Structure 1
């Protein structure tokens, strides 16, 4: 159950990559949002929109170009000692997109899962270490016999469960799931997402869930943010976003979701988004504005008035 207490605050975050003398890529371009304890914030958008870069910058795999990431009030990108970084790395973990590339093929599963346990000294004896590994394997739906096997002996879904067990090993507060189901079959995707929901309820975890699949994001998320070309263009409670999308880009994404209804699919009209056509800026400043309580859209003052009039109908 999400609380009103902020766990993570993103303030004017920027992540620019210099690809040459005159080629600067603004992967994250001045975005701000909060994540509350116990909630799942979904982050969606097309490939290249900056959502994975956002996750990697939050966890400090990339140094931010500008802005702040505050975790429990502490600046993630501030100057930190090795001890501070070690403490931070225990509180925040990541589940990676590719369950094949994210596990060292030369390490046994027990050693992969226990790597964090060893680094943080969470087991005093080998027996305690093994028991923690066995418990984590059972938590994610595997069994202790899997501990002595290698990654190549597992399916994609099983490997992702191992990745989840590894993330849980250090008892984190916050997990960034970077497209954790995109490489999996549809039936396995549901199993992994259900596992994540179960673990969140049992352990009080907070998630940033990054994905392409809008249907799955709606299922797991309390709130959803939509990114487009490095900008956060809409942020709202999951049901509100699906039932009342305001930004034209969000509308275009939702119009592309297929439904198991042949009659609907025959007549479905997909909306396209053209930023030049859809923005009524007239040179006005674009910023995140609250249209209705909890529903924010990146827009101009003129667009703000327009969106408010739509929401009041």
Structure 2
């Protein structure tokens, strides 16, 4: 049974000019698809381009090159005001900093209702209030919180407000840009479980961006690994953990701590050195080593990776 492609990213590039002759290639030609109802995890170290990828997909940045298609329609390029309104309704973003992303001068009622107001989704003030109260209860808050301001909440509660705001316009696709990195570990699990529960109930599709591979594995169906603007590996979550092929992926996985003191005392981290670990004989391209398991590699590395696969 074929799955429905909701988002197609095709050779996306996002370059920033930092001087007269200097260009930072934050995203440098990445390609991947996201299917309806799944969670696609995007991981990599800070500065690898994963957050820039999310912001380019949702048009916060105009792409330098390549294309992003949502339901077969290109995201970038000129759009009418109505087309943009519909696009912004179908695709929402949860930001990393749950305080900076909320206007401190607005009440929670107005923050959550902002999308309702822009899209005329509430016909009367009573309907608007009822919808905000429903959204707050959906994310584990109460209607009594509606008249408070962001500074009156904890970090986890603020992030729940951000999630409620994203859900207000009933989106199909949500980009969660490191939504738990600013939260305490105990609160991280609560927010991730909330996202999973909402997906089970409403069928949301997520792009979940993070650098914590263990948390990404828990929430994601498939995972893409980025390194310096390039996508180096894509596979199903369990497959990536069982068969990490690219040296950078192995390096990330080796850094995950386990609650085992004996193991931690002897654990040896795999250090990734691109000069040492990459074949320089030809330009690497994205190849499918196994159905659904893609790796950026040369033809020689491709043959080696096929031999390294564990059944």
Pairwise same-fold verdict (TM > 0.5): yes
CA distance in 1 between counterparts of 2:310 and 2:226 reads 25
User: What residue in structure 1 maps to residue 185 of structure 2?
Assistant: 186
What are the superposed Cα offsets for residues 116-148 of structure 1, whole Å, 9 maximum, x if unpaired?
000000000000000000000000000000000
DSSP 3-state at the match of 2:52: helix
Point out where structure 1 has 5 or more consecutive residues left out of the alignment. none
Point out where structure 2 has 5 or more consecutive residues left out of the alignment. none
Deviation at 1:187, TM superposition (A): 0.5
DSSP 3-state at the match of 1:103: coil
Once the two structures are superposed, the pairs formed by residues 196-275 of structure 1 within 5 Å of their partners are: 196-275=195-274
DSSP 3-state at the match of 1:56: helix
Contact 1:3–1:37 at 8 Å: present in 2 too? no
CA distance in 2 between counterparts of 1:122 and 1:172 reads 13
Determine which of 286, 289, 304 is the counterpart of 2:287.
289
Once the two structures are superposed, the pairs formed by residues 4-83 of structure 1 within 5 Å of their partners are: 4-83=3-82
User: What residue in structure 2 maps to residue 303 of structure 1?
Assistant: 301
Structural RMSD (CA) = 1.0
Deviation at 1:285, TM superposition (A): 2.4
Deviation at 1:312, TM superposition (A): 6.0
What are the superposed Cα offsets for residues 270-295 of structure 1, whole Å, 9 maximum, x if unpaired?
0000111111231x121110001100
Tell me the TM-score normalised to structure 1 length: 0.98
CA distance in 2 between counterparts of 1:22 and 1:275 reads 25
CA distance in 1 between counterparts of 2:2 and 2:191 reads 24
- The yes-or-no answer on 1:142 pairing with 2:137 is no
Once the two structures are superposed, the pairs formed by residues 125-140 of structure 1 within 5 Å of their partners are: 125-140=124-139
Tell me the TM-score normalised to structure 2 length: 0.99
For these two proteins, the number of residue pairs brought into alignment is: 311
User: What residue in structure 1 maps to residue 117 of structure 2?
Assistant: 118
